[in-house]
Structure 1
Amino acid sequence: MSALLDVSGRPSTEDAILQSLTAYKRYETYDLAVAEAGIRQFMAPGRLSVRRGDRDNVDARAYYADTGAVGVGRMSYGAEVRVDRQADSRYLGVTIPLSGTIRVWRGGEVVEAKAGESLVVIAADGHFRAEWSADCDALMLRMTTSSLARAAGALTGEWESGRPPRFVHQVLPLEEGYAVHAAARLLAQILGQYEDIAVVPNALLHQLSEHALSAALLGLEHDLSAPTQRTFRAAPSSAVRSAIRLIDGEDGEVFNVNELARHVGITVRALELGFRRVLDETPYQYMRRTRLERAHRDLLAADATNGTTVTEVATRWGFFHTGRFAASYKATFGVMPSVTLSASQTGHG
């Protein structure tokens, strides 16, 4: 992996995030025109400008990893830069200042997003104008509207509409945008563990992308936020049993809740209500418990001669953050997964 960026001269409360994506450099330049051209390759097009006296201070850097449906990156300019972004129906963007501030124009009003306090939602529709402070370093999340439309179909049950939800430009307190903030951080931290997006397991890319899409749909305001006039009802027991059979038949992590609902032909909300009625837990809780048990089974059955690792078993069952997997495993089985693996290998020796 490339050397970590020296951020010692830039105040930041998020050093780990600032350093996590350095393998995905898109540009590092003192020329704002080069940065403007570079941004067009992975974000919506826009114009960058700087006060004449600040041109010599430009030190623009961008790091960006793209899963297809979702992308995450971090950007800075080193000078106070004006951003004029044209409407782009392809993308929804979220900008999270990690240091400094971003001032956003909304009509005649200027709203300031501050590091550690707020985030900026950049809608697909409508001209967007903002100004980054010279010390601003930001985490960027970009989602395609086509992927949001697909994910929204799973949440609303309107599978065939194909219409993406419509968001609005806004500055939100972090506590209101917490789900999206957390999804962006997770995406950056996990992808940052790999040298190249091409070597990231497809199952991991899929899970991270679906998580980010769901976070945006459930955590940000849009025109599909309120359910349509129908009342959501719990899925019938037969649909819950079908979903359970799909989960129980997995050879590894395959489904997320959205996909599970689509396979049995009901909405996510109906599936959640059905699981609560039948099992007194959510589909996610059932999947997580079942996959923990299977990871435990696989660790017990591991053979020292085949080189099985805890990370391999955890990843197979959809636990891509090994620290959290270890904590959940110990809470459930009373020992760390490495202890189970060591014991099983001793038994095979």
Structure 2
Amino acid sequence: MLETALLEDRRGAPLLQDKLTTTRDWSVVNAFCATTYMPLSTRPLTRGMDPNATIRNLKIGQITFSRFCFGTPTKTDDFDPSSGNIIVVNTLRGSVRHPLNGNDAVDTRPGDSYVVDCSRTSYWNLADGNDLQLNLTIPHALMEETAARWYGFVPEDDLWQNRLIFGAGQSAWLSLLDYATRTLDAKHDGIADAFIERRIEETLCLDLLRNWADCAGLNLDTGARAAAPHYVREAERLMQDTAARAPTIGEVAAQLGITARSLSDGFRRFRGITPHEFLTAQRLDGLRRALQLAQPGETVTSIARARGYVNLGAMTALYRKRFGETPANTLRNRRT
């Protein structure tokens, strides 16, 4: 997998025939790194050694693919954070050492993928000289836009500052990269179909987000719910305050100046439930508190009627499902 990435197009025709793709000149290597990744510092681990570098790159949308190696043991550091780029290193051959969180480091082997957001954390690497990588350079802003569009929020630095390995061997991620590079067309030095190009760009960002978050122990769906917009949070406050009066969802939406459909869509997207389900839970919670604080002479019926319940049978079924006991049990236990 990826053996011919950036070497051949989908038809087997050679890519980048008229471009400089190898060099033994450090100035050329450094210029390639500055434009493909970002300004950075490189130095051979053996003083005076010249590179034997592979330098190939092509763009798919806003994502730059590069097939790269120094061809000699090299340390790279001082990656410029102002460039705002994320780098994904997919090791095809040899070994590269990268930092993890804290003071830990890891050596990536063939089949390993490593991600670092150079706009949010420091980065360095040590290449063994026999290595070869297929790298992706992705603008941080593009990842933010993708997260906002699909998850409804932009993750905080607890995601972006995680430097980590994801995938191994013949991972689904590498299969996706293989598909992406097989769409390249030598006649255009890029994607032949702009529609496919946009879809590949988005799919790559989404899959990277998923892998990154999973390995960092973060749940993007939970994060989306925590980042609900103002009108959803205001609706929750209103329903909590007025649950005893049993407002309709239309009344709640009208108070917020939005439609009931917009409110419903917001709850489904950011809370994973309907506003009716939220209100039902709030009303049942309030009923339970009223039963637990009941005064002598109060009954389940009187308390429930005072809180807007008409169908006591349906209320009892919902109550049992939520609390594992009937309203009568709650009232009885309160009195004992």
The TM-score with structure 2 as length reference comes to 0.57
Corresponding position of 2:137: 142
Aligned-CA RMSD value: 3.4
Q: 1:230 to 1:198 in 2, by over 3 A?
A: closer
In structure 1, the partner of 2:36 is 42
Letter in 2 for 1:184: L
Change (3 A) 1:214 1:132: same
Deviation string 1:253-276 (CA, Å, 9 cap, x unpaired) is xxxxxxxxxxxx969x959x99xx
Asked if structure 2 preserves the Cα contact closer than 8 Å seen for 1:90 and 1:146, the reply is yes
1:213, distance to aligned residue in structure 2 (A): 1.0
1:26–1:143 CA distance, 2 compared to 1 (3 A): farther
Corresponding residue of 2:95 = 101
Gaps of 5+ in 1: 1-12, 233-264, 275-349
CA deviations over 1:43-65 (Å, ceiling 9, x no partner): 12211110335614x21121111
State the 1:194 CA deviation.
Answer: 3.2
Once the two structures are superposed, the pairs formed by residues 45-194 of structure 1 within 5 Å of their partners are: 45-52=39-46, 55-56=49-50, 58-84=51-77, 85-88=79-82, 90-106=84-100, 107-116=102-111, 118-124=112-118, 125-158=120-153, 166-174=160-168, 178-191=171-184, 193-194=185-186
Q: Which amino acid aligns with 1:17?
A: A
AA at the equivalent of 2:194: N
1:228 aligned partner: 223
Alignment match, 1:3: none
Structure 2 residue identity aligned to 1:200: A
Kindly provide the CA deviation profile for residues 108-148 of structure 1, in whole angstroms up to 9, marking residues without a partner as x. Answer: 433110013x2211213222111112111111112212211
**Native 8 Å contact 1:72 1:142 kept in 2:** yes
Q: What is the Cα deviation at residue 195 of structure 1?
A: 2.8
CA deviation string 1:286-307 (max 9, x = no partner):
xxxxxxxxxxxxxxxxxxxxxx
TM-score by length of 1: 0.55
- Change in Cα spacing, 1:230 to 1:18, as seen in structure 2 (3 Å) is closer
Q: Which residue in the other structure is 2:201 paired with?
A: 209
Inter-CA distance 138–198: structure 2 relative to 1 (3 Å threshold): closer
Alpha-carbon distance change, 179 to 227 in structure 1, aligned in 2, over 3 angstroms: farther
Per the TM alignment, residue 102 of structure 1 is displaced from its structure 2 partner at its CA by: 0.5
Structure 1 residues 89 and 210, CA gap change in structure 2 (3 angstroms)? same
Contact 2:143–2:205, Cα closer than 8 Å, also in 1: yes
- SS of the equivalent of 1:19 reads coil
The 1:162–1:94 alpha-carbon spacing in structure 2 relative to 1, beyond 3 Å, is closer
Q: Contact 2:76–2:124 (CA<8 Å) still a contact in 1?
A: yes
Partner SS for 1:227: helix
Aligned mates of 1:163, 1:105 — CA distance in 2: 20
Find the aligned partners of 2:186 and 2:173 in 1 and give their Cα distance: 22
Q: Report Cα offsets for 1:149-171 as digits up to 9, x if no partner.
A: 1111122224xx69896242223
| CA distance in 2: counterparts of 1:93 and 1:39, whole angstroms | 12
**Residue 30 in 1 paired to residue 18 in 2?**
no
State the distance in 2 between where 1:206 and 1:266 align. 27
Matching residue's letter, 1:49: R
Q: 1:198 to 1:100 in 2, by over 3 A?
A: closer
Within the candidate set 5, 15, 24, 2:3 is matched to: 15
Q: Secondary structure at the match of 2:144?
A: helix
Amino acid paired to 1:59: N
TM-superposed CA distance for 1:197, in Å, is 4.1
Contact 2:93 2:133 in 1 (8 A): yes
1:119 is matched by which residue type in structure 2?
A: S
Aligned partners of 1:200 and 1:18: how far apart in 2? 15
